[in-house]
């Protein structure tokens, strides 16, 4: 048996509306949103009394999805937000964009900030890591 596709990456946030606005600014579209609760949710995630709101974001090509979740129950467990990228289990999501400088400018208006600097890799790629909502590291790359 093989994997058919990667369906989505899930990230827990503490401000769902703010995270949706950030990823909309990046160019993703809101595919759907709803409330999740019940025995099936408890069983799937291994927690008791799950109650959360989710928003499914999709890339313009329809192939990449990001599931943003804001837990109401059990209580959200805050974690460090500004971990460096080499911490075990640290996640990042990478996107190709058409204008890196413009994207950085627009995302800064939503509270995002560069992790390091914009780097040039070879002759064809400019890239950077950017910290977004809930400390999410978002990789951005521009191919020429």
pLDDT for 84: 81
Instruction: Note the pLDDT tens digit of each residue in 46-95.
Output: 999 999 999 999 999 999 999 999 999 999 888 777 788 888 777 789 99
pLDDT for 3: 83
Question: Do the beta carbons of residue 93 and residue 69 sit within 8 Å?
Answer: no
Tokens (6 digits) for 86: 């080499």
Instruction: Note the pLDDT tens digit of each residue in 82-103.
Output: 788 888 777 789 999 999 999 9
- Residue carrying structure tokens 């209580």: 75
Instruction: Note the pLDDT tens digit of each residue in 123-134.
Output: 999 999 999 988
- Residue carrying structure tokens 């990823």: 23
pLDDT for 103: 95
Domains of the chain: 9-73 (3.10.180.10), 92-143 (3.10.180.10)
């Amino acid at each position: 048996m093989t994997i058919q596709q990667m369906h989505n990456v899930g990230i827990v946030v503490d401000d769902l509306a703010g995270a949706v606005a950030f990823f909309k600014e990046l160019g993703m579209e809101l595919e759907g949103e709803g409330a999740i609760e019940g025995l099936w949710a408890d069983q799937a995630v291994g927690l008791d009394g799950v109650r959360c709101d989710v928003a499914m974001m999709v890339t313009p090509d329809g192939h990449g999805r990001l599931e943003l979740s804001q837990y109401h129950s059990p209580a959200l467990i805050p974690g460090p937000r500004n971990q460096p990228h080499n911490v075990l289990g640290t996640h990042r999501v990478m996107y190709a964009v058409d204008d890196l400088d413009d994207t950085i400018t627009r995302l800064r208006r939503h509270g995002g900030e560069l992790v390091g600097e914009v780097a040039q890799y070879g002759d064809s790629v400019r890239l950077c890591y950017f910290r977004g909502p809930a400390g999410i590291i978002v990789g951005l790359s521009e191919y020429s």
